[in-house]
Structure 1
Amino acid sequence: MKKLSLGSIAAAAIAVTLALPVSAQNIAIVNGKAVPKARAEALAQQVARSGRPVTPELEGQIKDEVIAREIFMQEAQKLGLDATEDFKTQLELARQTILIRELFADFQKKNPVTDEEIKAEYDKFAAANGGKEYKARHILVEKESEAKDIIARLKKGAKFEDIAKKQSKDPGSGAKGGDLDWANPGSYVKEFTEALVKLNKGQTTDTPVQSQFGWHVIRLDDVRQAQLPKLDEVKPQIAQQLQQQRLAKFQEDLRAKAKVE
């Protein structure tokens, strides 16, 4: 039996030591080509960002997916499909998409929205939507004569909700008996708002109100102080809105500075 020298034993030990980290970095060897674990990790991160938990079962599915992609990619390369102009064009578009995504992510990371900015935006919202809210109903028709006839019928005891369902041209509120729900009066067109705020609770307009949409018969059902959400309830939405606005401004600035011939 051939004796092993101390040098050969040491060399073998070093080879094993070096092989361990290399194999640990791969999830498989496909047709002699290593499939790096980083691919599976990147795919798992994409799944996690979508809100889906990465379970051990899913990790196994991701591993299978990465290996399958390597098999299919090798076959495509064998057929020379990676040398076509169409492939090169698509590859460039994909490269641009990834780079642009990284650019925007880097910008947002370096320019975070602060709590002070969120609070300031909330205060603006509260100032614009504070005050009173009105719960109203309306019946929308095309002609003034129709509106006058409806007002006359209401004075004789006809039910507002029934007329709205049958005659109102507003598809949104008509089916609900003319109900417009609670709203800030400023959310309506000027003519509608001016007529609405003059009404007392339970009162209906005596004369038709004309707007760009047609002729309205308006009834005020109730009035209350505006019910605004608390800052903590809308903080994520405000932060997202401010981030989008800031990113849009960043994009506009880049376009403005670019020399396009």
Structure 2
Amino acid sequence: MKKQLLAALTLAALAGTLAGTAFAQNVAIVNGKALSKERLEALAQQYTRAGRPVTQDMQGQLREELIAREVFAQAAVARGLDATDDYKNQLEWTKQSLLIRELFTDFQNKNPVTDAEVKAEYDKFAAANAGKEYRARHILVEKEAQAKDIIARLKKGAKFEDLAKKLSKDPGSGANGGDLDWANPNGYVKEFSDALVALGKGKITEAPVKSQFGFHVIRLDDIRDIQLPKLEEVKPQIAQQLQQQRIGKFQQELRDKAKVE
């Protein structure tokens, strides 16, 4: 009798130990289904991927979310919603989207953009954009006669900024006294650019400059070397651009190799 009682107590203790071990490996058991620590870690990774790093004090919140998701999913299955065509179609679409995302993530990880590549791209950009930039003002009017009258008034001492505010039909610069800020002359239409570059600093065009927008009276205020951003300031943008180009090429290669009938 004592042996039987001892055996029963031993089995009970062993069962309790096993149950405790199972619970230690899980964060909860919902309607008999165990939610493992791995699932909690996977949920935390989803948060991190979405740009929301998980802190230690969020563990309780994550556990509650994991439990709630399981409760709701079980309720959906109980109603047979996992057997509907709509659910199956969405599931396949989601699986495919996840696979595609993993494909490109894997490609990026195995083909990172190097600092040397970023530097080479920056040097190309710097070489293509080197030169001078000009700070100018202009007054834009519809008719040549109006522009000639403005030039005459300026020669008599009228203030350029005041005439620009009053007469220019360019709403952007007119309100600022005709100020166009610093710019590469190549950014303007050819007629305007040619007239601007030909001016001396502080000078005003002697004759109206005709373009597709109307007639311009231009004053050149200053000239300086183009101010390019430093490499470190644009490094993330250049790296992203190069990575996008690389992924685009990878996508096209896969598409070209695919047999489509």
Instruction: Give the TM-score taking structure 2 as reference length.
Output: 0.85
SS of equivalent to 2:198: coil
> Are the structure 2 counterparts of residues 101 and 198 from structure 1 closer, same or farther at C-alpha, using a change threshold of 3 Å?
same
Counterpart CA distance in 1 for 2:122 and 2:189 is 24
Instruction: Select between 188-197 and 114-123 the one with higher mean Cα deviation.
Output: 188-197
Q: How far apart, in 1, do the equivalents of 2:213 and 2:58 lie?
A: 55
Q: Aligned partner of 1:33: which letter? A: K
Equivalent in the alignment of 2:154: 154
Deviation per CA, 1:194-227, whole angstroms, max 9, x where unpaired?
1211111112222232334443322211111222
The residue aligned with 1:118 is 118
CA distance in 1, matches of 2:101, 2:221: 50
The residue type equivalent to 1:112 in the other structure is P
Q: Tell me what 1:233 maps to.
A: 233
Please report how far the alpha carbon of residue 134 of structure 1 lies from its aligned counterpart in structure 2 after TM superposition: 1.3
Q: CA shift at 1:250, angstroms?
A: 1.6
Matches within 5 A, 1:113-192: 113-192=113-192
Q: Distance in 2 between matches of 1:33 and 1:88?
A: 23
Q: Which moved more, 1:49-58 or 1:23-32?
A: 49-58
Q: Per the alignment, in what secondary structure is the counterpart of residue 35 of structure 1?
A: strand
Give the secondary structure class of the aligned counterpart of 1:205.
coil
Letter in 2 for 1:163: L
Which structure 2 residues correspond to residues 211-226 of structure 1 after superposition, within 5 A?
A: 211-226=211-226
SS at match of 2:194: helix
* Structural mapping, 1:50-69, within 5 Å: 50-69=50-69
What residue number does 1:71 align with? Answer: 71
Q: Which moved more, 1:244-253 or 1:114-123?
A: 244-253
TM-superposed deviation, 1:50? 4.4
Do the aligned partners of residues 62 and 152 (structure 1) sit closer, same or farther apart at CA in structure 2, a change above 3 Å counting?
A: farther
> Does 1:247 find its partner at 2:247?
yes
Shift in CA distance, 182/28, structure 1 to aligned 2, threshold 3 Å: same
Deviation at 1:79, TM superposition (A): 1.3
What displacement does 1:108 show? Answer: 0.8
Shift of 1:95: 1.2
Matched letter for residue 141 of structure 2? V
For residues 163 and 25 of structure 1, what CA distance do their matches in structure 2 show?
80
Is 1:210 the counterpart of 2:220 in the alignment?
no
Amino acid at match of 2:131: G
Bigger drift between 169-178 and 216-225 goes to 169-178
The aligned amino acid for 1:161 is E
Q: d(CA) in 1 for partners of 2:216 and 2:196?
A: 11
- Identical columns (%): 69
CA distance in 1 between partners of 2:224 and 2:204 (Å): 18
Moved over 4 A (4+): 8-15
Distance of aligned partners of 1:28 and 1:178 in 2 relative to their CA distance in 1, 3 Å threshold: farther
Q: Which moved further from structure 2: 79-88 or 111-120?
A: 79-88
* Residues paired across the two proteins, number: 259
1:7-86 correspondence to structure 2 within 5 Å = 9=10, 13=14, 16=17, 20=21, 22-86=22-86
Gaps of 5+ in 2: none
Structure 2 SS opposite 1:95: helix
Amino acid at match of 2:205: T
Q: Classify 1:251/1:14 alpha carbon distance in 2 versus 1 (closer, same or farther; 3 Å).
A: same
1:110 offset after TM fit, Å? 1.2
